[in-house]
Structure 1
Amino acid sequence: MNEEKSLKDLAESKAKALQVLFDDPGIAAAMSRVHVFVVDHGEEIVHVSPSLVPQEWERSRKDAQKWLELVHPDDLDRVRYKWQKVVYGNADVFEEVFRFQVNGEYRWISHIGTMVYRYYDGRPSLYIGADRDVTEERLLQQLLEEERAKLAQQIVLDDFLNIPNRRYLDSEQFRFFINDGETHNAVMVFDIDDFKQLNTILTHKGGDEVLQMVVERVQKCLGASDILARYGGDEFVVVIPGSNSGRVHDIAANMLDVVAGIPLSTDDYKVSISIGLCEGHPDLDIGFWDYFGEADKLLFEAKKQGKAKVISGTL
């Protein structure tokens, strides 16, 4: 008897709610502006006033799960899982953003709703929610994210040579410099010998071409995980993480050779580089800039000893 009374009370409450929602002109007009989506689970009726669900569904007997057929296949599993949590009583509020087919095309829809009434055993009775088309917002967000990614890339890239710059070394050092006391790290600092004189002889345009050729040739000496960055002017940094001392010294020697082979329009000068190389197995007390500082000192020593050579040390 109590169960029958509960069912009767629920039916009356639900009928009053639907009457207010759909029969009052003022409320119906307001709801039409926010695309209300109402599901009467007891009668398996989808009420639309109007929603982004096709208008032919309005006040018609349909499977209350049928709207899921219009969800984009890539979003369907996620949406169905969250919707079924509401249907089976594990949650009352459903909130999701997903692609939904509207007039033959997929639009991004933001939906939020709640179960208003349930049967005494927890089964769903009346659900009400609202849809909002956010396609333009999503497109704008995507464009902003793409522009932000481009800007972030530009900030850490040298805009002339298209290689990482000093900001990259500073912000990303934790990714490429592994100071666990076990991993071998090597940092080289090198510059082009007598670059000011080269600029004077070749003009700035010729000096720029030399910079480009040095970068191109040095890059070919390096592996996929090695890093070549421009520190400033004609000074560059090479980071070789997780390798071994033999390979590192082979790379440095190869760099000297390939740069020496760069052709110039004058026989008065030859292109060469001097390299300071610091290597070892740093622990937590030693960071990338410690290695850079030591390599920079060794570069200065290479200059003192006649240029066009590698001076190495450990730290």
Structure 2
Amino acid sequence: MAATNIPTTPHVFTAVVLRAFDQRRLGRWLLKAAAGLSLLYILTPLIFVTWLSFCREEIPSFPPHGYSLRWYAEIANNQQFIDGFLLSLQVGVIATAIGLAVGIPAALCIAHFRFAGRGFLNNLLLFPLVVPGVVLGTAFYVFHVQIEIATNGNVPILGSLAGLVNGHILLVIPWTVRLVTATLANFDRTLEEAAQNLGADRWTTFRRVTLPSILPGIVAAAMFGFVSSFSNLEISLFLVGPGRTTLPIAILQYLEWKIDPTIAAVSVLQMLVVGAALLITDRFVKLSRVV
């Protein structure tokens, strides 16, 4: 019996190896198929909106009767879209700058120091990411009303540009704290100690050592914070004043009275702006390092 089993042992081993290889190959194919289906699920709405923006007819049909750029020209003729874009751009830039100025020191404090309530402070700063936008907008509106009541109208913040920026800053701070803290997690603090041992003060150490190391997180936070502010609808609905409108609000108001591919064209331009920001940011700072 022992002599009979000897010749078959290599064949058994080969069969086991081939079976394991086939299972790994099947697993890779299944993983690639799942990733492809997920990507298709994500891209399908974007592809459909892009196709819709080039349809010639006002009410699209399939098969389409032709393609045109007329809906992109309609954007330039709609002053509400232009004013909304300019206001969204202005609010996004200001809110991003102030949010970075507040969020970077907060992230440095959380990453470098150990103190009572550190975890609570970190969760509190990230809270706006999990709270629904309608709740935040309502809270800000009530807060601004209470400020005007308490000051007898001497601080006209309700419906003002400052009040709108104030609400959008809350969208930038969580991104800044999260991404800068993630960057600092891999930062070697002995570099700061070495710089200070060589005579550098705290500001010089931060500017020459710490800042270049956390720059990818700062750039990524600025990009994500700006996109969150630029495309925000819920908070803006509660805080925007008379005679002002952001681009998301302008789109919503347009849809109340008319439905045509102009909205699809506006959406495509928004996607191009965000996509360009992502490509430019990744060109100078690899987002894969922090995201």
Structure of greater relative contact order (alpha carbons < 8 Å, 6+ residues apart)? 2
**Highest Rg: 1 or 2?**
1
**TM-score normalised to the size of structure 2?**
0.21
Which structure has greater helix proportion?
Answer: 2
**TM-score normalised to the size of structure 1?**
0.20
Which structure has greater strand proportion?
Answer: 1
